[in-house]
Amino acid sequence: MKASLVLVLMLPVTEGFLFGTKADSKKFVATPEINKLMTSYQGKKLDIRLVVGDPKDESSPDLALQQFEVELLTADALEYQRQNENASKGSERLASKAGTTTKRGMKSPVVALPGANGPFPRTSSGAKALKVLREPSFVGMDGLQHAHLERGCWELIWRKGDIAGNLICGFQLTEEIQRNENGASLPAGCRIYLSFLMWTDDRLKEHRDVTETAERKANELLQEKLDEVEKMEQSVMPWDKAMHFRRALTAHEKHLLYHDQHKYCLSMTPGDGDLITLQPGLSIMKKGNVWMKDDTSHGDEHKFIGVARVKPSTALAP
């Protein structure tokens, strides 16, 4: 009987964003639980710290933005925005009669999102409303300053079959910000995206089980290879040596496959200290990525510019 080897391949969560790619999106759909998961986000407040810079230039000081607070809502982003636009216009008319001015509400439209506005919209929850409770602050050339963000929205991308989802927040920067003349900067008008991996307890347990199984099989096959090598060295007859050599080689090839699977799964497995519980059964990674799209430049490239971190105390606030 011919032996067979079956490996469970874990799909990686994308680190980049795709917009407008022509592809067959019908076969890419969201996990069936996405609507149920969305109810868990209503009213969640996240306190985020960003560190951005040029990954290729370590000599350039990074730009740290902190005390950035947002509230996630499950209302449709465009509908929520239209309601705020109408309310803002009414307030402006009243303020105009009183001889004062008011700040306009959310501008239209919201920024494009990699899921809802990308090649695979069926993997996304759709663009949802977001409130900026406190704009991020940073120390610039003029002391303590604030980064002004608008057109904010968010989405949950969780493709069917993937081990984890992606929470994406998008904004547009209204004014250029810079730490100092030689430090990192962000241009006015650029779009900024934050991405955090999301895990359910069931998916995380399943992934950890696969990781442990791969490690156990890799160790068993390594020992099997060593045993066959020892038998080969002790054999006197040439055909016995050849038989044990073939068995050792087969065990070695299988060991490499399970070893690579374990290594990959381990790199994707968060520790308990890497997660924040949003609610029982649902967690978010403390550390995420920051991406930028500069609409003033040519091309559709989304550039990785830094990391984002969520503070546990604020993330757990009601």
For tokens 């963000």, the residue is 149
The model's confidence at residue 55, banded by pLDDT at 50, 70 and 90, is low
Q: Write down the pLDDT at residue 255.
A: 96
Q: Write down the pLDDT at residue 145.
A: 87
Per-residue pLDDT of 207-234, as tens digits, reads 999 999 999 999 999 999 999 999 999 9
Tokens of 294: 């500069």
**Rounded Cα–Cα distance for residues 164 and 198 (Å):** 6
Residue 91 has pLDDT above 70, yes or no: no
Of 181-185, 281-285, 310-314, minimum mean pLDDT range: 310-314
Of 77-86, 151-160, 190-199, minimum mean pLDDT range: 77-86
Residue 53 contacts residue 178 (beta carbons within 8 Å): no
**Rounded Cα–Cα distance for residues 289 and 194 (Å):** 6
Cβ count near 318 (within 10 Å):
5
What average pLDDT score do residues 108-121 get?
A: 86
SS3 277: strand
Q: Write down the pLDDT at residue 16.
A: 44
The model's confidence at residue 196, banded by pLDDT at 50, 70 and 90, is very high
Q: Write down the pLDDT at residue 299.
A: 52
Per-residue pLDDT of 264-298, as tens digits, reads 998 888 988 899 988 889 999 999 999 998 866 55
What average pLDDT score do residues 9-18 get?
A: 40
Q: Which of 198, 196, 156, 201 is nearest to 34 (CA)?
A: 156
Residue 206 has pLDDT above 60, yes or no: yes
Count of positions (residues) in the chain: 318
Q: Write down the pLDDT at residue 297.
A: 56
